[in-house]
Homo-oligomer: A and B are copies of this chain.
Amino acid sequence: MERRLVIGLNVVLAAVRDGEPVVLCVKRPGGWGLPFGRFDPEDHRTFELALRDFVERQTALPLEYVEQLYTFGDRGREAPRASLVSGDEADRIVSVGYLALSSDALTPSLESAAWRRWSTFFPWEDHREGKIRSCADITGQLRSWAAGDETLNTRIAMAFGDCDAGWEEERALDRYELMYEARLVAEAHRDRDGVEGPLLHGEAMISDHRRILATAIGRLRGKLRYRPVIFKLMGDEFTLRALQESVEAILGFDIHKQNFRRGVETAHLVEKTDTTVQATGGRPAALYRATALSEAPTAAGLALPRFRGSAT
B92 lies within 8 A of A73 (CB)? no
Q: Is A267 an interface residue (CB 8 A)?
A: no
A17-43 interface code vs B (CB 8 A; 1 in, 0 out)? 000000000000000000000010110
Q: Which of A45, A68, A71, A296 has the most CB of B within 10 A?
A: A71
A86 to chain B, nearest CB (A): 12
Q: Is A312 an interface residue (CB 8 A)?
A: no
Alpha-carbon distance between A94 and B68 when the two chains are bound, in angstroms: 14
Q: List the B side residues contacting A94 at CB < 8 Å.
A: 7
Question: A46-B75, A71-B68, A73-B39 in contact; A154/B6 too (CB < 8 A)?
Answer: no
Q: List the B side residues contacting A76 at CB < 8 Å.
A: 45
Partner of A47, one of B45, B47, B73, B158: B73
Q: Is A127 an interface residue (CB 8 A)?
A: no
Residue of B with least CB distance to A75: B45
Give the interface residue-count category, chain A: 20 to 34
A295-309 interface code vs B (CB 8 A; 1 in, 0 out)? 010110000000000
A295 to chain B, nearest CB (A): 8
Alpha-carbon distance between A6 and B68 when the two chains are bound, in angstroms: 19
Chain A 50-99 interface residues, beta-carbon cutoff 8 Å to B: 68, 70-71, 73-76, 92, 94, 96
Alpha-carbon distance between A155 and B3 when the two chains are bound, in angstroms: 44
Chain A 213-234 interface residues, beta-carbon cutoff 8 Å to B: none
Question: A7-B94, A41-B5, A92-B41 in contact; A298/B158 too (CB < 8 A)?
Answer: yes
B39 lies within 8 A of A174 (CB)? no
Q: Is A287 an interface residue (CB 8 A)?
A: no
B75 lies within 8 A of A158 (CB)? no
B74 lies within 8 A of A71 (CB)? no
Alpha-carbon distance between A75 and B42 when the two chains are bound, in angstroms: 10
Residue of B with least CB distance to A91: B41
Residue of B with least CB distance to A96: B71
Residue of B with least CB distance to A292: B154
A179 to chain B, nearest CB (A): 15
Partner of A299, one of B75, B158, B299: B158
3 smallest CB-CB distances across A and B, nearest first, come from A41-B92, A158-B298, A47-B73
Chain A residues engaging chain B, CB cutoff 8 angstroms = 3-7, 39, 41-42, 45-47, 68, 70-71, 73-76, 92, 94, 96, 154-155, 158-159, 171, 174, 292-293, 296, 298-299
Knowing that A5-B6, A46-B73, A71-B96 touch, tell me 18 more A-B residue pairs with CB under 8 angstroms.
Answer: A4-B4, A5-B39, A7-B7, A39-B73, A41-B92, A45-B74, A45-B75, A45-B76, A47-B74, A68-B70, A68-B71, A73-B96, A154-B293, A154-B296, A155-B296, A158-B296, A159-B298, A174-B298
